[in-house]
Amino acid sequence: MFDAYVRTDPRLEHVCEHLAAARSRDDVVSALCRWTRQAVGCDGVAVALREGAFCRYVAENAIEPLWKNQRFPLADCVSGWAMLNGATAVVPDVALDPRVPAAPYRRTSIRSLVMAPVGAPEAVAALGTYWCAFVALDAETVGRVEHLARRAGEALARLRERDPADPAAVA
């Protein structure tokens, strides 16, 4: 049902076209960072890649610096929670959600977020979207983020199938 909506929304369709054309993991990450803010209507986007028991934030597009180039244990961050659980974290208030580590978020303007796992059956990354205001995160907004995360996962799977020996093709 949501896929039919995507075909009528040029912002989401645009991101999906870039993901489908990706020729490397970096292309997938770049497409997510460049276009997701506009497609979802959020104040910031971050992409975290799974690296064993850690996640590394490899890219962001936000109104302020967030987590780029930082590593966190999967068990200690909301992107890790999304990857480990294979589920989307919908967080209307970062100060009240136990999946969100309080200390790092205190120094940011982030108030609400959606963090979606990328890849199946095991997540290899996470797509984070952030808002500086407390936002009622409705099903349509969450669906947009999840749709883009699914398409990114499909793009990464396609790249792995094309060249499984290429370490840059997998997260």
Tens-digit pLDDT profile for residues 93-138: 999 999 999 888 888 999 999 999 999 889 999 999 999 999 999 9
Give residue-wise pLDDT tens across range 29-40: 999 999 999 999
- pLDDT at residue 171 in the model: 44
Q: Which residue has the higher pLDDT, 160 or 132?
A: 132
pLDDT at 165: 60
pLDDT at 164: 64
Q: What is the mean pLDDT of residues 58-68?
A: 90
119's torsion region: left (phi>0), alpha (psi -120 to 50) or beta? left
Span 156-160, mean pLDDT?
91
Pairing mode, strands 54-62 and 125-131: unpaired
CA atoms within 13 A on the CB side of 56: 6
Does the pLDDT of residue 1 top 60, yes or no?
no
Specify whether the CB–CB gap between 78 and 113 falls below 8 A. Answer: yes
Domains for the chain: give ranges and CATH numbers. Answer: 2-163 (3.30.450.40)
In single-letter form, the type of residue at position 112 comes to S
What type of residue sits at position 145?
Answer: V
Binned at pLDDT 50, 70 and 90, residue 5 comes out as very low
> DSSP string spanning 7-58?
HT-HHHHHHHHHHHH--SHHHHHHHHHHHHHHHHT-SEEEEEEEETTEEEEE
- Please report where in the chains the tokens 């960072």 appear, as a residue: 33
> Is residue 161 pLDDT above 90, yes or no?
no
Alpha carbons within 13 angstroms on the beta-carbon side of residue 122 total 7
Total-model pTM: 0.89
